[in-house]
Every structure is written in structure tokens, then in C-alpha cells.
């Protein structure tokens, strides 16, 4: 659907184009008859009736194979199949008209007007695309009926397109230093504001794209906003690549192709900006803006997350903990624009020993290119004396923020688990968290060993265990085993002492890191019940 911009004049040419290719693929003559059928009175009734009424008529094609009319291609394929003189005439006359090669009828002086520098222009809107398509057709003609003049004309036109022109400009993007650099192309430009003027320079080189080309006076503006001069499109490059293939066939023997194109890299594919909205001794309120500015290649990303790091030392000094901090969201652009709310997760410990924590802002599942903002607040609860304990100035991610948006590398950004922007704060070693338990037994349970004592399994669940070297297990403060690999567990057999019938077993686990940090779990207590001791019997005989 063209949306009104590229309406087709009619479809007889497209139907003919399809039919001729179907004939080539299947060999069925009926497809050719669909194009050329004539009734008993000599009237064309096939698709060709759109341009030729009767067998006594003729037709001269002044246009070219293009997005609207494809008769040029139809006759380029039809003439070699039918070998009909009329079909060959229409095919050749079009190329004579474009190239200026003398018509077979020497009395015919109908030719396409050229620019002062000799470039054939049928329309100034995308002049190079039409010219390139005509070159392609001329080179196709030469395959069937050698005509060196068509070949030389095509080469002269291609030389013009590639820079041999009064503007000394190459109309193929990325070809050389004279190439047009501002094609009218959204993705290669890479605007985050949907503006053709922002940024000033395109972020990506659209290698190989043919821009619109010159006007009737050989003039061209390398201006992204001027789609007449600098539009690019698939139909532009279709004829251009076809013509280049024909030129290469004629002149490219022995030339080596470029093994690979130069690759552009994003300077900053992702970045974060922030600004303070409100801050005092009772809260920090700010807006974070994350940006996906990928241009090489542009892509929507759906697994971004950001971290805002802060320090709660002032809360810890007043016997408060991270549990006394609340989070609030004032505005979420993703929820408004995409209908997918940003997940605000945490707070999480980063360097617990030094009271450093972070909040995670997570856009997982929200695929976007451009930016998303979220306005949120860190709000501490009042302490036991009904006073707030909050100092935003010591927060790592607060550094450098003002009431205007500015880039900051103190708020980090991640694509999945990969850090793609910013610098994380340093931190001391994260302490492991340890909890002890007994397999298949709840804390406080009594285990029955009255029928005999059997081993039990002591377990330790260790979080943040990356640096844990070993876990020691204790029962009633006596070390009873060591585990060096997760999952951490040891076997232990309770021991009945004397005539005791029950015995409390207080179990703890101690995780020890490679740097010597030791963390002991809370006590996990169970009770063992043993067989009742038998009274000693002395027999006197």
C-alpha cells in the first residue's frame, strides 16, 4: 500500500512483467499470450492493449523501468523471447532516446534532454535512479545485440554518478571522499529526537546507497532534509546495482573486489543522564534518563537496567538499616508511552560493610530505541526519636547532578548482565550470608534415636559464596565437620553421654572466605532422644 505517495498508474505493465518471468520459469507460452494476444480484427486484447491498440499501431517508450512503470523491463525480456521486430523496436528506441545514440530511423530526432554536462535526466526527483535504470537496460540490450555505443554511454553516465561531474560529487554514499554524506535516511542518521537536523552529522555511513542526484543544471544539494536531491530507496539501488553489474562485466575483468566494508562503531551506544528534582534532609528525588543510541546498527533493546548507588552511613549511625528506606515513583515514561512499567527493584547491598546500596531501574521486556525517563525518590523513615537521618551529598550516584539533565557515569547502565555505561563504585568484599539446618528436620524438632543412633545431615545455605573457601559446622560449639564445596553439608552422629535420655543439639555453620572473613549463622537447635539407660545389675553368687 503506497499511502498515496507512490500510486501506480495502472497494473497492465506489472502483470506483463510477472507474465514474462513466469514464461521464463515454466516455458508456458500462455503467459506470453496473456501479454500479446490479438483478436481477429487485429486489436490487442492482452495486457499490451494499455499501450498499443492495434497491430497497425506502434509505441515509443520515453520513460524507463521504474517503481511506477516497468514496460522497459518487459520489452527487455519479451523481445529475446518472441523475436518480434516490434518488441525489439520498442526496446531499442527507448535506449536511443535516453542515450542520444542515433535512431535507426535517421529522420527521428526525438531524444531526452541532457544536462549541460551530458547527464540524461527525465525527472529531477531521483534523477540518478532513473538514469541508472536506463544504463542497466542498455547493458542488457548489449547482451543480445552488440551495441558498443550503448555500453560507452552507460559508462559515461556511471562515471558522472561516481564523481566525474561539475559538482565533483559522487552520488554513491561511502564510495570515496567526494561522496554525498547526508542521505535522507532515518536509520543511518540516527536521530533520537525524530528531527532531520539532530544530530548535525549522520551516525552511520550508508555504504552503497544511491542518493537522488542532480537537477537539469548539474546542481545538487547534499542536504538530509531535501528528499528530492538526497532521497535513498530500494528502487534507486535496484537499477544502480544492475548497471554496475553490467559495467563490471564490460570493464571489470581482473579487478579485485573489496573484501569487506569499513565498519562503523558507535561512540556511545548507551548512556545515562540525570537531574535532581528535590533533595533535603528528608529525601532524594531525581529523574534518570537512559538512552539507547545504537546506530551501527540501530536496534531496539529490551533488557536494559540502571543502578543508582547511595550511602546510608548517616542512617546506620542512628541504628537504622536499609529496611528503613522507602522507594517512591512519581513518573514512569515507559508506563505512559509503552504501557510497560519500569520495575524499581531493591535496595540491594553493594558494599554492606561500608553502607553502600543501590536501586535497580529495570526495563526488561520494554523494547525501545531512544530514551526513557523515570522520576523516583529515596525516602528514609523517621528514627526512634522521630527524626530523619539522610544526607544525599555522600551518595556515589549523586555526584555531579544538578537541576538540568547531564550525562553521568556514576549511574551505571547494563544490557542484560553486561555493563554498557558508567563506572561502578569500588567496594569491600561482600560478606556471605549463612544459615544452618538439619536435613528433613525443622528447628525445635525432637529426633527419636531410641531404636539406635544414626547419622544426620547438617546443611549450610550460603549466599554470596563466590569467595567462600570452606564452611565449618559446629554442634554445641564443638567443630564436627568441614565442607569445601557447595552444596555445603556434613554427616554427624549424635553421642549419648552417660544416662541422659535427651540432649539439645545447637548447630551453627561458619563460612570462611579466602581473605579470612568469617560469618557464623544463627543457631539452629533440635533435640535428640536416646534409649533409656539400663540400671547396672550386680549378681553375687
Hey, is 310 helix, strand or coil? strand
Q: What's the Rg (C-alpha) of the chain?
A: 40
Contacts of 1 (CB under 8 A, 6+ apart): none
Hey, is 528 helix, strand or coil? strand
Cβ atoms within 10 Å, residue 31:
19
**Any idea what DSSP says for residue 486?**
S
* Spatial distance between the Cα atoms of 99 and 154, rounded to a whole number of angstroms: 8
* Spatial distance between the Cα atoms of 392 and 401, rounded to a whole number of angstroms: 11
Half-sphere exposure of 277 (CA within 13 A, CB side): 16
Contacts of 390 (CB under 8 A, 6+ apart): 280, 281, 282, 283, 284, 314, 315, 378, 380
* Spatial distance between the Cα atoms of 239 and 235, rounded to a whole number of angstroms: 7
Catalytic residue among 33, 222, 338, 371: 222
Catalytic residue among 182, 231, 293, 311: 231
Half-sphere exposure of 252 (CA within 13 A, CB side): 11
Q: What are phi and psi of 223, to 5 degrees?
A: -135, 120
Catalytic residue among 65, 184, 189, 220: 184
Residue 95, Cβ density class (10 Å: 0-12 exposed, 13-18 middle, ≥19 buried): buried
- Respond yes or no: is residue 184 known to be catalytic: yes
Residue in 537, 426, 521 with CA at minimum distance from that of residue 474:
521
Task: Give the DSSP H or E segment for 284.
Answer: strand 283-292
Cis amide bond preceding 487, omega within 30: yes
SS3 for 57-74 is CCCCCCCCCCCCCCHHHH
DSSP assignment of 131-147, as one string?
Answer: HHHHHHHHHHHHHHS--
**Any idea what DSSP says for residue 308?**
E
Catalytic residues: 184, 222, 231
Amino acid at each position: 500500500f503506497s499511502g498515496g505517495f507512490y500510486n501506480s498508474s495502472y497494473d497492465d505493465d506489472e502483470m506483463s512483467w510477472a507474465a514474462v518471468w513466469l514464461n521464463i520459469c515454466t516455458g508456458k507460452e500462455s503467459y506470453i499470450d496473456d501479454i500479446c494476444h490479438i483478436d481477429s480484427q487485429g486489436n490487442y486484447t492482452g495486457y499490451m492493449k494499455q499501450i498499443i491498440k492495434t497491430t497497425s499501431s506502434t509505441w515509443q517508450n520515453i520513460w524507463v523501468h521504474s517503481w511506477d512503470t516497468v514496460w522497459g523491463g518487459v520489452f527487455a525480456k519479451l523481445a529475446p523471447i518472441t523475436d518480434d521486430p516490434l518488441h525489439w523496436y520498442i526496446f531499442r528506441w527507448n535506449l536511443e532516446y535516453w542515450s542520444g545514440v542515433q535512431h535507426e530511423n535517421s529522420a527521428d530526432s526525438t531524444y531526452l534532454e541532457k544536462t549541460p554536462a551530458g547527464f540524461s535526466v527525465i525527472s529531477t526527483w531521483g534523477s540518478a535512479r532513473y538514469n541508472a535504470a536506463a544504463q542497466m537496460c542498455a547493458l542488457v540490450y548489449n547482451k543480445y545485440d552488440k551495441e558498443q555505443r550503448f555500453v560507452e554511454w552507460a559508462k559515461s553516465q556511471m562515471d558522472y554518478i561516481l564523481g566525474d561531474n561539475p559538482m565533483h560529487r559522487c552520488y554513491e554514499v561511502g564510495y570515496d571522499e567526494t561522496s554525498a554524506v547526508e542521505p535522507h535516511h532515518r536509520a543511518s542518521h540516527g536521530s533520537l529526537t525524530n528531527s532531520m537536523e539532530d544530530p548535525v552529522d549522520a551516525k552511520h555511513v550508508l555504504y552503497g546507497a544511491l542518493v537522488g542526484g542532480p537537477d537539469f543544471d548539474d546542481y545538487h544539494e547534499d542536504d538530509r532534509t531535501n528528499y528530492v536531491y538526497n532521497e535513498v530507496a530500494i528502487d534507486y539501488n535496484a537499477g544502480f546495482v544492475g548497471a554496475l553489474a553490467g559495467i563490471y562485466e564490460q570493464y571489470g575483468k581482473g579487478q579485485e573486489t573489496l573484501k569487506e566494508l569499513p565498519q562503523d562503531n558507535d561512540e556511545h551506544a548507551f548512556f545515562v543522564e540525570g537531574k535532581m528534582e528535590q533533595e533535603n534532609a528528608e529525601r532524594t528525588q531525581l529523574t534518570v534518563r537512559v538512552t539507547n543510541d545504537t546506530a551501527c546498527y540501530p536496534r531496539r533493546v529490551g533488557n536494559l537496567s540502571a543502578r543508582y548507588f547511595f550511602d546510608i552511613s548517616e542512617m546506620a549511625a542512628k541504628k537504622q538499616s536499609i529496611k528503613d528506606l522507602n522507594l517512591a515513583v512519581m513518573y514512569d515514561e515507559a508506563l505512559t508511552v509503552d504501557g510497560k512499567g519500569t520495575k524499581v527493584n531493591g535496595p540491594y547491598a553493594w558494599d554492606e560493610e561500608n553502607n553502600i546500596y543501590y536501586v535497580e531501574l529495570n526495563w526488561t521486556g520494554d523494547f525501545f530505541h531512544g530514551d526513557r525517563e523515570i522520576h523516583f525518590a529515596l525516602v528514609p523513615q523517621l528514627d526512634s526519636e522521630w527524626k530523619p537521618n539522610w544526607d544525599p551529598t555522600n551518595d556515589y550516584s549523586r555526584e555531579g547532578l544538578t537541576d538540568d539533565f547531564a550525562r553521568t557515569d556514576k549511574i551505571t547502565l547494563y544490557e542484560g548482565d553486561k555493563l554498557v555505561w558508567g563506572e561502578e563504585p569500588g567496594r569491600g568484599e561482600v560478606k556471605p550470608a549463612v544459615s544452618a539446618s538439619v536435613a528433613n528436620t525443622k528447628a525445635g524438632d525432637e529426633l527419636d534415636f531410641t531404636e539406635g543412633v544414626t547419622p544426620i545431615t547438617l546443611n549450610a545455605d550460603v549466599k554470596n559464596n563466590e569467595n567462600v573457601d570452606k564452611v565449618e559446622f559446629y554442634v554445641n560449639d564443638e567443630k564436627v565437620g568441614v565442607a569445601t564445596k557447595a552444596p555445603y553439608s556434613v554427616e554427624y552422629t549424635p553421642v549419648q553421654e552417660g544416662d541422659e535420655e535427651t540432649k539439645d543439639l545447637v548447630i551453627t555453620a561458619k563460612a570462611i572466605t579466602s581473605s579470612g572473613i568469617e560469618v557464623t549463622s544463627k543457631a539452629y537447635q533440635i533435640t535428640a532422644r536416646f534409649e533409656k539407660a539400663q540400671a547396672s545389675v550386680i549378681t553375687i553368687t
